[in-house]
Amino acid sequence: MARGTWDQGVAAETVFAELAADMTRHGQAEAAHSMSPEAFFANLSSVLLDSVSARQKDDGAWMSGATVLEMITNGWVTTKAGVEVKDHGVVVPASSFGSYVTGTNQVKGEELPPNPPPGLDQEAWDLAITRSGRLVRGKPFHLHKW
């Protein structure tokens, strides 16, 4: 997974170019080339504002305050609490994604509903379920630093 840092004094365009290059190095070339800087920074701004609002327990905050792992689409995020949807709260708790069997990449305890709650978009639901599992469960094999 591509990760980056944004040091003080570094231009947004430089950060975006470095992120796209890192994503390409990690096998995410198609996603990297489909991103626009404008959409990326608009989404980043939106997620940060909503996250801070939740952490501060502001009136009207819609996220739980759990750490955001990924923005799925507008109003849908994956957090450490699970899949959260604006005006619906946590619609799939993290526990529903199960966990890895120690020493394997097999998942145990996965109990994911095939369809979204009434009123939620099926396409966004499918995308959220597909993308969130790997984020919520983490890595199947943990390397220990001795």
Report pLDDT digits (tens) over 58-117: 999 999 999 999 999 999 999 999 999 999 999 999 999 999 888 888 999 999 998 999
Question: How far, rounded to the nearest angstrom, does the alpha carbon of residue 54 sit from its chain's CA centroid?
Answer: 16
Is pLDDT above 80 for 143?
A: no
By CB neighbour count within 10 A (0-12 exposed, 13-18 middle, 19+ buried), where does 20 fall?
Answer: buried
Q: Can you tell me which residue has the tokens 């604006």?
A: 86
Q: Mind giving me the DSSP string for 36-84?
A: -HHHHHHHHHHHHHHHHHHHTT-TT--S-SSPEEEEEETTEEEETTEEE
Q: How many CB atoms lie within 10 A of CB 33?
A: 10
